[in-house]
Each structure stands twice: as structure tokens, then as C-alpha cells.
Amino acid sequence: MPRRPKPLTPRALAFAIALAATPGIALAQSSANVCPLGAFTCPVVKNNFALCKKNDLLNFYVPGLPTVVNRAAAPAQVYGDKFSSPDSNLYHLTGDTSLERLDQLLRANSLTYNADTTAYDAEGNVRYQEQDMLFSANNMRGTTDPEYGVANNVRYQLLTSRGNGVANQAIMLDENRSKFHAVTYSTCDIDSRLWSIRARTLTMDENTGRGVGHDVTMRIKGVPFLWLPWMSFPIDHQRQSGFLYPSFGKRGRAGFMFAIPYYWNIAPNYDATFTPMWFGNRGGMLGTQFRYMTQSSKGIFNLDYMPNDKTTGTDRGYLTFSNQTALPWNLEWSTSIAKVTDKSYFQDFGLNNMSSLVTLLGSSSYVTSSGNWWSAGVGVDTYQITTPGLPDTAAPYRRLPRLFFNADQPIGGPGGPEWGVNAEAVRFVKPEAIGGDRFDLFPYLAWPLQGPAWFLRPEFGVRYTTYNLPQPVAPGDPTHPSRTTPIFDVDAGLIFERDLHLFGNDYTQTLEPRVYYLYVPYRNQNDIPLFDTQPLTFDFWQLFTTNSFSGADRQMNANNLSLALTTRILNESGVELLSASIGQIRYFTPEKVTLTPGGAVMNYSGSDYVANLTIALNDNWRVTSSQEWNPNTNETDASMVGLQRRLWGDGIVNLNYRFRRGLLEQANISAEVPIGAAWKLVGGYTYSMSQKQAIDSFAGLQWDSCCMAISVLSRHYVYDFKGDSNNAIMFEIQFKGLGSYGQHTGTFLQNAILGYQ
């Protein structure tokens, strides 16, 4: 065991030395999150230092010091090989000297302390450590009351983050403020700084959470690439006013873009960001974001505005607003508004080249309330077409207003029958179209029964829908059409289980037959308008629904029996490794209700067969498939096949095929392929067989290191239904723990590559 120096006399222990410590830059660190196979999006990992050296600490670090401290109540303990005191106030310590006070540890070859003035002087191989800081110096002088110190030739490291560097001189101004001269800062390994900041002076203030540098130069491998006369940056997680890192790239058809945001920390519950932007083909734009949070409200307001676009000569803009407010009497007001000045906005200024595909913007505002068994609300819904060439009349009807009430309550307690009601009243408004009022009411009774291996749920209800129209749908039709339709259905199923032994492992297999009967008598609905109703896409879950139309303007007739069978294989932990389902509807009477009068009546004995399959036999492979086969035409009406393969940890390859008769046929491949620990290839290609052209393709290269990452992407994509295309280049460089420059490529890649990490 190392020799412990002999403690000093009680008189020497009487004084307490509280040395000021350099505030650290608190840089968030996070480890890679596991992304489940098949996940649509994976958590974004910020400041991933996984490639850095483990426990890369300065060699004089001492483990085991306290981490929870109350220094004011703790005495100092001073040790040394030799001790002398020429008078009652002055103490000289030489040899292996140290001073300890909870988490603080000061070591030097010699230490002098004046108990009267609290002045100290540490000389030779000075090493200082506390819970947040570790540094060495040639010497250090100062006072403990007030806290002040000057250290020369400093080498420092932040223990709560990866910040480290050197300085010619460090001045501890007080307990929370420090000033450095000729200083460097980096989050790289201490013996391999790929990038660094060098500043003539750097002041750090723990009270404000800011670091302010003057005459700042950023360097990569020692080569300067950016000089700033002044730079302010956060040293902890406090929100602070100041400029954020600039971004640049090519956005939509607006050309080269450069932006530099300014963040304004108005109050703890208010802030704003102003982003001046310049587009090479369009001119200047100002982006504004305002966020607020009160006891009863929270919301975000965004406005991007360009006066006098150089290309069009018009003003351009995009506004979004979202708000949630708690009102008295258990009411809540929620609002979501989105508006653009023109239909070409997203094609010209599409953010991250993704929003150029937006064709419709919806806005709504509702006041709602709910209880244990009910919910109700009143509000409005409006829509805006954002695709050039589409007329405004293609937008859905506005709902001005819409009222709804839903309830579901057991009769006589849980486990017995229950009653419920779904009610909605809407006024539909649309320019250059006939609107009207609609009231839809569906009261029902149900009795859900179930056991460990079975369930049975009969339900009976009556759907009543009535309208108030300014004019009839067709001459001779009523202006107050109505429809009353009883609806009866029974949903029942069994669950069988058996033990399964495969490939030396034990599993559980289930067999789950399900039967669903639906009866709805036919009602002629040709005199009823179409406000918000469309046929639903047929899939497996349509086997068990009471209507094949969305909205209330059409109610299908039915005398149907749905038959389905599902089997699953689960491992000993209950994780589903395989799920396969198949089903079909058997029609005892034709479905006569069509969307428009004179539409084709389905007069088949059975629906399409629909099947779903998911296989995930281990953590690296996943196969999904959905098929829809029409036995009446012997044709496949819809097909989807997807294959996902994990590669070497965070790599992934996706193969997908999508087909829907008369609508689309596309094949897609996307991949994130690690090449060693530092490099990745990313890419994607989507080909439309029906259009006989590639509609989206991108390729890029990513490089990652301990403290720095670079992404370069090139993309070619079709941005409208006419087949017009565009090219884009995205570039981003990230200095981990400090920030990034360029477009945020991770946002695009998360949308483009299923399971991208």
C-alpha cells in the first residue's frame, strides 16, 4: 500500500482551504440505443463517443473521491512529508503534499498557506481534482477567501463530459467564473485531438452557463478553417441567448441556401429563434419560431417569410401554429394550423427535400372534454391544396363546425353487458360546391364475454343519419334525406396453444381461429351527398369492421361471415418470432351500396383472400408480407413484401416491393452499410414499374470518429405527380459536444431508411 503522509497538528488542521475550480463545459453524452428490428424510426444518438478510448483520463486521476458534497460543512485535511511554521499563521509543506476536502484534492511538491490572509502557493507538479474537473499546472497561487487563483501552464479535463485542453494561464475569478489565456478546447481523446478551438481568451461562467471566447480559431488536425472575433457557446444544459451554428446546402428549387439562427432565451417558459436565410435563386427569407409554456398552455408558432421572391416577384411564406390550453370545467383547447402562400412553396423550399411531396395541409381547432366513460368536443377542420395543377376544389370539405360525443359504459358493473353511443354533427362547406349539415347517431348494446382461451362479443346498434341540404343531390330528391340502418355483428374466437420443440429450442405455438358475422340490411342511399366518404382500402382488418366506407355518407349492406386463422410462434420469453394470418369474407347477399349511383355492384360469393406474415427468427432477420388475392379473377390485387437484414450492429439493408392494382407498383432498396468502425455507406433506390422510371435515389458516405463526424449525400427525386425531378446535395460536419454545420442529414435518412441509426 502507498505510504500515507503523517497528518499535521490540530493547529494546522484548523484552517479550511476552498480552492476555486474551473467551470466545465457540460457536453451531453449518450450511448447508442438499441433499435428493434422492424422499427420505423430509431432514436437519434447525439454526441456518440463510442469510438473514443475507454477511461481516457489524465494519468494522475484518483478514483473514489466523494461525488455528493457539502464543502461548507467539511474541514480540510492536509498531509505532507515535512512541515514547518515560522510563525503562528504561515505554514510550509514539502515533499508529497496534499490537501483534501471532500471531492477536492490538491497535490504538489510544496505548499505554503497563510492562515491570516488565506493566501496559498502551490509549486511543482501541481495536480488538482474535484468531481467535475481534473487539471495539472506548474504552479498555482491564490486565496481561499475570497476564492481566487492563478495557475500557469495548465492541462485540464472535464470529468462530467469529454472536454479537455491546455492553457497558458487559468484565472479563477470566483467560485463560478474562470478566465483562460491562450487556451484550447476539444472533446477528442486527450492524446489525439482531431479538432480543437483555440482562443486568445476564454471566459466560462457557471451562473449563465456560457463560454465566451475572443479571437477564436477552429482547427482540424491543426489546420485553421474558421476564425471568429467573438464566439459564445453553452458550457452546460442551460438555455442561453446567442447565435446557433449556421447551416448550408441546396434546398428544393431555391438553390444554394445559407442560414444562421439566433436564439433568444426570453424567459424560462418562453423562447424564440430568428433565422435569416439566403437562397441563391430566390433571395432572403426570415424564419421565426416562438415557443411558450404556461401553467395552462403550451405551443409553438413558426413563420418563414420571404418578401419579393426574385423568381416569381411575389411574397412567399409558410406558417404553422400548434397550441394546447387547459380551460376551466375540465375542458381543453387544441389547435393545429398550417398555411402556405402558394401551391409551389414546398417544391421550391422543401425542407430536407422531403416536404416537397406534401399535397395537402390540414388545420383544426377543437375544444374537448372527457371522463372515465365518455368524450366530447366541438371544433373546425379546414384544408389547403399544396400541389400545382390541382384545383382548390380537390380539397376535402371544410367542417365548420364539427361536434362529436362518444360514450361506452358497462351496465351493472364490469363483465356484463354494456351500452354505448357515437354521435356527430357537422356542417360541410366548400367553395363552388354544395354543402350541408349532417347528423349521425349510432347507439348500441354489446355483451363482451371471454375466458382464458375464447372470446365472444355480440353487438346490436342502429345507425341514424340525417341531412339538411340547400338543394337536393338530384332533381326530385329530398333536401332532408335520412337513413336508418340496424347493424348486428358477432365476433368470436378461440386460442389454442401447444409446446413446440424445434432446432433444440422450446417454443409455444398458438392456433387462433376467428369468426365474425355481420348483418346490415340494404338502404338506397343515392339521395345522400358525399361529403367525407371514400371506400376503405381492403386489408386483413377490414374482415372485422362494420363498414367498407370511411365517413358517414355511405353505410354498406351486409350478410357476411368472415373466417380467419392466425398462428404464432413465441420463444420462452414470450417474444413473437412468427405470426401468420389468413382470412376471407363470405357473402350471402350481394353488397349493393356503391359510392356513386350506378356503381358496380359486388356480386361475388367471397372477397379477396388476405394474408399477413411476419418472421423474425433472430435479431438480424425480419420478413414481412401482406397479400391480397382475388379468387374471382385469379389475380393478385395487392402485394407487399419486405426483407430487413441487420449488418454488423447498426448496419441495415431493406428490400421492399409494393403493388396495388391500378394504382402503383414499386420496388425499393435502402441500406446503411458499415465499413469498419468509422465509415458507412448509405443509399436508396425506388423504381416505379408502372411509370418505368426511378422516382427517388440517393447515395452518400458517412465518416465517424471519436469526436467528429461527416456526412455527404447526393439525391435525385421526383417531386410532383407530373414526373418533374430535382437534384440535391446535402453536407453535414459535426463536432461532437459542440455542434454541427450544414443540413441535418440524419433527419432525411431516418425517413428514407427503415431502421436507420
Whether 282 and 232 map to the same domain: the answer is no
pLDDT digits (tens, 9 = 90+) for 686-713: 999 988 888 889 999 989 888 888 888 8
What is the tens place of the pLDDT at every residue in 162-181?
788 999 998 888 777 888 89
Which of 358, 393, 416 terminates a domain? The answer is 358
For residue 275, the cross-strand partners are: 287
Q: Are residues 83 and 133 in the same domain?
A: yes
Do the domain assignments include residue 604? no
Q: What is the chain's mean pLDDT, rounded?
A: 84
Cβ burial, residue 465 (10 Å; 0-12/13-18/19+) = buried
Q: Please state the rounded mean pLDDT for residues 418-425.
A: 96
More confident of the two residues 625 and 96: 625
Residue 49 is predicted with a pLDDT of 78
Residues 677, 733, single domain; the answer is: yes
CA distances from 685 to 647, 681, 688 (A): 19, 14, 10
258: domain range? 241-358
Domain boundary among 358, 382, 412: 358
310-361, pLDDT tens digit by residue? Answer: 999 999 999 999 999 999 999 999 999 999 999 888 888 865 445 555 678 9
State the cell numbers at 612. Answer: 399477413
Judge if 54 and 34 occupy the same domain: yes
In a domain, 442, yes or no: no
On whether both 133 and 278 belong to a single domain, the answer is no
Mean pLDDT for the stretch of residues 703-731: 80
Cell of 651: 448496419
- pLDDT category, 36, cuts 50, 70, 90? low
Lowest mean pLDDT: which of 91-95, 322-326, 723-727? 723-727
Q: Which residue has the higher pLDDT, 78 or 80?
A: 80
| pLDDT at residue 548, rounded to an integer | 94
If one compares 240 and 99, the residue with the highest pLDDT of the two is: 99
**224 and 196 assigned to the same domain:** yes
Dump the DSSP string for 374-419: EEEEEEEEEEEE-STT--GGGSPPEEEEEEEEEEEEESSSTTS-EE
- What's the pLDDT band for 39 if we cut at 50, 70, 90? low
Q: Quote the percentage of the chain above a pLDDT of 90.
A: 46
Intra-chain end-to-end CA distance of the chain, in Å: 47
- Residue linked to cell 492562515: 115
Q: How confident is the model at residue 262 (pLDDT cuts 50, 70, 90)?
A: confident
Residue 416 covered by a domain = no
> Given 332, 358, 384, which residue is the final one in a domain?
358
Do 105 and 49 reside in the same domain of the chain? Answer: yes
Is residue 244 a contact partner of residue 739, using CB atoms and an 8 Å limit? yes
Residue 388 lies in a domain: no
> Is the pLDDT at 723 greater than 90, yes or no?
no
Using an 8 Å Cβ cutoff, are 679 and 708 in contact? no
Task: Mark whether 112 and 227 lie in a shared domain.
Answer: yes
Residue 253 sits in the same domain as residue 190: no
Residue 641: what pLDDT?
A: 95
- Dihedral (CA of 688, 693, 694, 696) sign: negative
Answer whether residue 555 shows pLDDT above 50.
Answer: yes
At 312-323, the pLDDT tens digits run 999 999 999 999
Q: What is the pLDDT of residue 200?
A: 94
Query: For cell 366513460, what's the residue?
Result: 373
Number of domains, the chain: 3
Whether residues 279 and 192 fall in one domain: no
Report in angstroms the alpha-carbon separations of 458 from 333, 411, 418, 587: 36, 15, 11, 19
Residue 6, pLDDT above cutoff 50: no
Highest mean pLDDT among 161-165, 307-311, 581-585, 728-732: 581-585
Residue 56's CATH number: 2.60.450.10
pLDDT value, residue 30: 28
Give CA–CA dist 53/83, Å, rounded.
41
